[in-house]
C-alpha cells in the first residue's frame, strides 16, 4: 500500500469494520465516564453531549434541573442524531441526587469549572469511573453542584477567550478521563 493510499479517509464498509474493531477492543477497557448536565439550556449543546456520550460509551447522561430534554426538543434530537435512543439517560432534580443515584454512586465526580481550587484537566489522575459535571453555558455550575463534586478541573485557555463551549470542554475532559490510565 502506498503512502497516498494510506492517507485516504475510510468510508462505507471499511469505516464500519474499523469502528467495530475499536469498539471490540474498548470493551475490555475498565475506564468509564458519565455526564451530569446541570441547567444546560441550549438544546444544541445537549444534543452534542448525546453524541459525545455515544462516542465515548458514557454509562449515563444525567439531565439536571432545567437542562433540555430529548422528549421536549426536536433540535436536541436532530443535533444528537437520535443518540438519545441508544445512550442511557435520566432526569434528576439536583446534581446531588444524580451523584447519589445507584448508577453513579461508585463514580468519582469532577466539576468541569474554573474555580479557585480547580486543577488543569490534563494533570489529574482520573478514577476508573468518572462522572463529569458540567453547567449552564452562561453561569456555569451552581454552588451546591460544586460542593457535591469530589474534584474540580478546567481546560486552560491559551487564547483571548475566557472559555470553550460547554460541550467542547466536556468532550476534551471525557476523553482525557477515559485515556488517562
Which pLDDT value is given to residue 2? 57
Distance CA 87, CA 54 (A): 6
| Total count of residues recorded for the chain | 181
> Contact at 8 Å (CB) between 66 and 96?
no
Q: Which three cell numbers stand for residue 180?
A: 488517562
Which pLDDT value is given to residue 148? 97
Mean pLDDT in the chain?
88
3-state secondary structure of 120: strand
CB neighbours (10 Å) of residue 25? Answer: 9
Distance CA 120, CA 156 (A): 6
* Segment 36-77, tens digit of pLDDT: 999 999 888 889 899 999 888 899 999 999 887 777 867 666
Fold of the 31-179 domain: Alpha/beta knot (3.40.1280)
Any idea what DSSP says for residue 113?
Answer: S
- Give the percent of the chain with pLDDT over 90: 53
**Got the DSSP string for 123-166?**
G----SEEEEEE-BTTTBS-HHHHHH-SEEEE----SS-S---H
Distance CA 96, CA 85 (A): 25
3-state secondary structure of 71: coil
Q: How confident is the model at residue 136 (pLDDT cuts 50, 70, 90)?
A: very high
Segments making up each domain of the chain, as ranges: 31-179
The residue among 158, 139, 161, 141 whose CA lies nearest residue 131 is 141
* Segment 72-108, tens digit of pLDDT: 867 666 665 556 767 899 999 999 999 999 999 999 9
Amino acid at each position: 500500500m502506498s503512502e497516498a493510499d494510506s492517507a485516504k479517509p475510510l468510508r462505507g464498509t471499511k469505516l464500519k469494520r474499523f469502528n467495530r474493531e475499536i469498539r471490540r477492543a474498548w470493551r475490555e477497557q475498565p475506564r468509564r465516564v458519565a455526564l451530569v448536565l446541570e441547567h444546560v439550556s441550549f438544546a444544541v449543546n445537549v444534543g452534542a453531549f448525546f453524541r459525545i456520550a455515544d462516542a465515548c460509551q458514557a454509562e449515563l447522561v444525567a439531565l439536571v434541573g432545567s437542562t433540555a430534554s430529548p422528549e421536549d426538543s426536536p433540535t436536541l434530537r436532530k443535533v444528537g442524531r437520535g443518540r438519545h435512543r441508544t445512550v442511557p439517560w435520566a432526569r434528576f432534580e439536583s446534581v446531588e441526587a444524580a451523584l447519589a443515584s445507584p448508577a453513579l454512586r461508585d463514580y468519582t465526580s469532577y466539576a468541569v469549572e474554573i474555580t479557585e481550587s480547580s486543577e488543569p484537566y490534563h494533570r489529574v489522575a482520573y478514577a476508573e469511573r468518572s462522572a463529569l459535571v458540567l453547567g449552564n453555558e452562561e453561569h456555569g455550575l451552581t454552588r451546591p453542584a460544586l460542593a457535591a463534586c469530589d474534584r474540580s478541573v478546567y481546560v486552560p485557555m491559551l487564547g483571548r477567550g475566557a472559555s470553550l463551549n460547554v460541550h467542547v470542554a466536556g468532550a476534551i475532559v471525557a476523553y482525557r478521563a477515559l485515556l488517562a490510565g
